[in-house]
Amino acid sequence: MVTIITGTTNKPIASEQLRSFFHDNKELSGYLYIGYPIIGTVNGAYPIDALWVSQEKGLVIFNLIEGKDISDDYAGAQDDCANKVESKLKGYKQLIQKRKLCVEINVVTFVPAVNRIPDFDEFYPLCNESTLADIIAGFSWGDSEYYEKLVSILQSISNIRKGKKKRGILNPKSRGAKLRELEDSIANLDNRQSRAVIETVEGVQRIRGLAGSGKTIVIALKAAYLHARHPEWKIAITFHTRSLKGQLRQLINTFYIEQTSEEPDWDNIHIIHAWGAPGGGERNGVYYTFCSVNNVEYSDYMSARNKYGISDPFGEVCNKALAETVSVKRIYDAILVDEAQDFSPSFLQLCYEMLSEPKRLVYAYDELQNLRSQSLPSPEIIFGKQPNGDPRVSFVAHEDGKPQQDIILEKCYRNSRPALVTAHALGFGIYRKPSDGKESGLVQMFEHNSLWNDIGYEVVDGRLVDGQHVKLKRTMQSSPEFLEKHSDIDDLIVFKAFDTQEQQDDWVVQQIKYNLEHDELRPDDIIVINPDPLTTKKLVAPIRSKLYEYRIGSHTAGVDNPDVFFANDNDSVAFTGIYRAKGNEAAMVYVINAQSCYDSGFEFDMARIRNQLFTAITRSKAWVRVVGVGEAMHGLISEYKKVKDHQFMLDFIYPTQSQRDHMNIVNRDMSEAEKDKVKKSKVNVASLLEELESGRVYIEDLGDEQINRLRAIFLQKRGE
């Protein structure tokens, strides 16, 4: 059976008939690519219509003709594509013996609309559906032992994961040496990631997966692939975390050059933030563009927050813009959305409306980014219904040979198995000891238990059923062993408690100094994350100051340029709050002041602070240090020890529906009105603190009376 991977093409009818032929001929084997590969030449991108690789037949290139007009020089076109593919494959030493390419290359011109094929030169075969089987029967490959290598090269469409620059390694046992081996091991995209890049749906497509599964890379490479195949299309790539912009641009640019030997046309491919603001250029955004072209009122963050509150101001302004637009102007041919879990359905609706038919919208999200019991709504709910009541968007069951609408990337290439399981255990509260005497300390749980299987866990004991005991572990396929074999468990993950803030800070400084001087790590291999965004600016300052004394450069991510996370010269250690950390990764991650993630004092707020810890830990692609101060940090260490004692498996009683509902109740002893009042008060205080921390509001703006009243309350509570 042939595995068919269907990309985008400007010859849809001939492509579909070629796909049908291989789908129906079950005795054939190998891989058929439609709309791939793209060959880079001195004259730019040269797309191949279709390519089949088979152990028996070798490599067969198909030149497709959509109508009945067979070019007088179709033979010259066959020579052209054969020479270009041969030149590309000769760049891989594993396919060469001395100077000879050990891959048999054949070319066929496939013209299904012609019922009677004219006479042709046997060296330049010409066929339709009726004669294709006879043509390929005449092909054979004598060097079929190269088949696996050829398939690997075709599937690994990019080595874009390789390190940013060559590492100078002196000690073969150093962390730097281990990191270089890790980066080489994951340099190429795996088959599922490559397929996700190429397969193109004429409509809506979603990509789901864990942190580290490659969603951002897939989104970026997919945008570059579509741009290479259709340079005339207007394509937008949008996101939530502003510091992702530089990373997305670098990924798109690198892949496009790798595939086409030229730079992208940045007039037709736009990397823009979801919100945006007036001013054009780097300030542009999807929502701002929508408002501008449709002549509806635009709201900035402050005005939206003042009107709608802080729970979801962006979702509200998107809803308002959609409601006020009678006829939406279609300005894009494709939109790709990363971090979709951070957006309300109204933003995805807005993107959908901006698209011309057939509404090519790709959105990627992390099932666990917020560790919620429910993920984004189904596409049927997100995009609504047509006037006749049918869903505007509906995912159908996948059929062999057709591109997938719903792709799950279950393999994690960033976090080692121990680190990922630890993040899940702490995030969900699997081994948390409840402070109120409850039997379970679970903070949150999936609504649908099947999601555990989707993200790469398997049952090793018990049953994944409500109210039943279950023990889950990561599969070898979803968590590759090489991600953890480079170091001992006690080096992969370190939890450490200190008596004082100063002791913690001194330890982190000395560790970073050692990483740079002895471990052969670079400054850009290190991220220091303070989980609580409201305290980051204040709490990272002492550590940065101590590093400065050792002439170690550092920066707080996003301060000088909100679109950049790592320093341009890569010679500076990045410090960050949790929100800017999202979407980024480093070999060595220090999570400082982690005690803030142990207990919030409010049940309804536990999920939020545990999410902060989950996100921070999953930024690490090699080693993670979780440190903090006081008894709360000892509480987290106790939970981690239980994870370790259970050999990095999740062992718990799966909560019933009523228990899951209870987890979502803020405080059962309070009335709904009281709970709502407490929640709103806490949110408003947090918002005020954030505004003061960021400098958007100054303390003087509050007025003397309010400042004095706040001071009096704090002094009274402290007993002073």
Binning pLDDT at 50, 70 and 90, where does residue 207 land? very high
Give the model's pLDDT for residue 600: 80
Give the model's pLDDT for residue 678: 45
Binning pLDDT at 50, 70 and 90, where does residue 668 land? very low
Give the model's pLDDT for residue 584: 83
Give the model's pLDDT for residue 665: 30
Report the range of poorest mean pLDDT among 78-82, 132-136, 159-163, 264-268. Answer: 159-163
Q: Residue 133: what residue type?
A: A
Higher per-residue confidence, 157 vs 542: 542
pLDDT, tens only, 24-36: 999 999 999 999 9
Alpha carbons 333 and 354: distance in angstroms, whole number: 9
- For the chain, give me the number of helices (H) and strands (E)? 25, 25
Give the pLDDT mean for 89-114. Answer: 93
CA distances 602 to 103, 121, 499, Å, are: 65, 79, 25
pLDDT, tens only, 551-606: 999 999 866 566 667 776 678 999 999 888 877 889 999 999 999 999 987 776 78
Residue 30 · residue 2 · CB < 8 Å: yes
Alpha carbons 35 and 225: distance in angstroms, whole number: 10
Give the model's pLDDT for residue 502: 97
Give the pLDDT mean for 536-562. Answer: 89
Q: What does the CA dihedral 129, 132, 133, 138 come to, rounded to 10 degrees?
A: 170
Residue 546 has pLDDT above 70, yes or no: yes
Residue 523 · residue 552 · CB < 8 Å: yes
Higher per-residue confidence, 510 vs 182: 510
Determine how many CB atoms are found less than 10 A away from the CB of residue 62: 24
Give the model's pLDDT for residue 368: 60
Q: Residue 446: what residue type?
A: F
Give the model's pLDDT for residue 558: 67
In the chain the domains, ranked by start, together with CATH numbers, are 2-155 (3.40.1350), 177-409 (3.40.50.300), 417-663 (3.40.50.300), 672-717 (no CATH)
Report the range of poorest mean pLDDT among 192-196, 364-368, 473-477, 673-677. Answer: 673-677
Give the model's pLDDT for residue 21: 96
Give the model's pLDDT for residue 267: 95
Contacts of residue 84, Cβ cutoff 8 Å, sequence gap at least 6: 39, 41, 46
Alpha carbons 22 and 505: distance in angstroms, whole number: 62
Binning pLDDT at 50, 70 and 90, where does residue 672 land? very low
Residue 486 has pLDDT above 90, yes or no: yes
Candidates 26, 23, 45; CA nearest to 261 is 45
Higher per-residue confidence, 381 vs 708: 381
Alpha carbons 405 and 396: distance in angstroms, whole number: 8
Report the range of poorest mean pLDDT among 105-114, 243-252, 667-676. Answer: 667-676
Binning pLDDT at 50, 70 and 90, where does residue 224 land? very high
The radius of gyration of the chain's CA atoms, rounded to the nearest angstrom, is: 28
Residue 688 has pLDDT above 80, yes or no: no
Residue 497 · residue 633 · CB < 8 Å: yes
Tokens of 98: 């001395």
Binning pLDDT at 50, 70 and 90, where does residue 388 land? very high
Residue 287 has pLDDT above 80, yes or no: yes
494-506 in b/e form (b: 16+ CB < 10 A) is: ebbbbeebeebbe
pTM confidence score:
0.78
Give the model's pLDDT for residue 183: 82
Question: End-to-end alpha-carbon separation of the chain, Å?
Answer: 79
Residue 245 has pLDDT above 70, yes or no: yes
Residue 713 has pLDDT above 70, yes or no: no
Give the model's pLDDT for residue 212: 79
Give the model's pLDDT for residue 588: 97
Higher per-residue confidence, 297 vs 182: 297
Alpha carbons 16 and 26: distance in angstroms, whole number: 17
- Average of per-residue pLDDT values in the chain: 87
Residue 170 has pLDDT above 70, yes or no: yes
Give the pLDDT mean for 535-549. Answer: 94
pLDDT, tens only, 291-345: 999 999 999 999 999 999 888 899 999 999 999 999 999 999 999 999 898 899 9
Binning pLDDT at 50, 70 and 90, where does residue 675 land? very low
Q: What does the CA dihedral 221, 226, 232, 234 come to, rounded to 10 degrees?
A: -70
CA distances 242 to 401, 562, 563, Å, are: 37, 6, 5
Q: What is the residue whose two structure tokens read 């992969």?
A: 492
Give the pLDDT mean for 537-557. Answer: 94
Give the model's pLDDT for residue 43: 81
Alpha carbons 154 and 141: distance in angstroms, whole number: 17
Residue 670 has pLDDT above 90, yes or no: no
pLDDT, tens only, 77-101: 999 999 999 999 998 999 999 889 9
Residue 72 · residue 59 · CB < 8 Å: no
Binning pLDDT at 50, 70 and 90, where does residue 454 land? confident
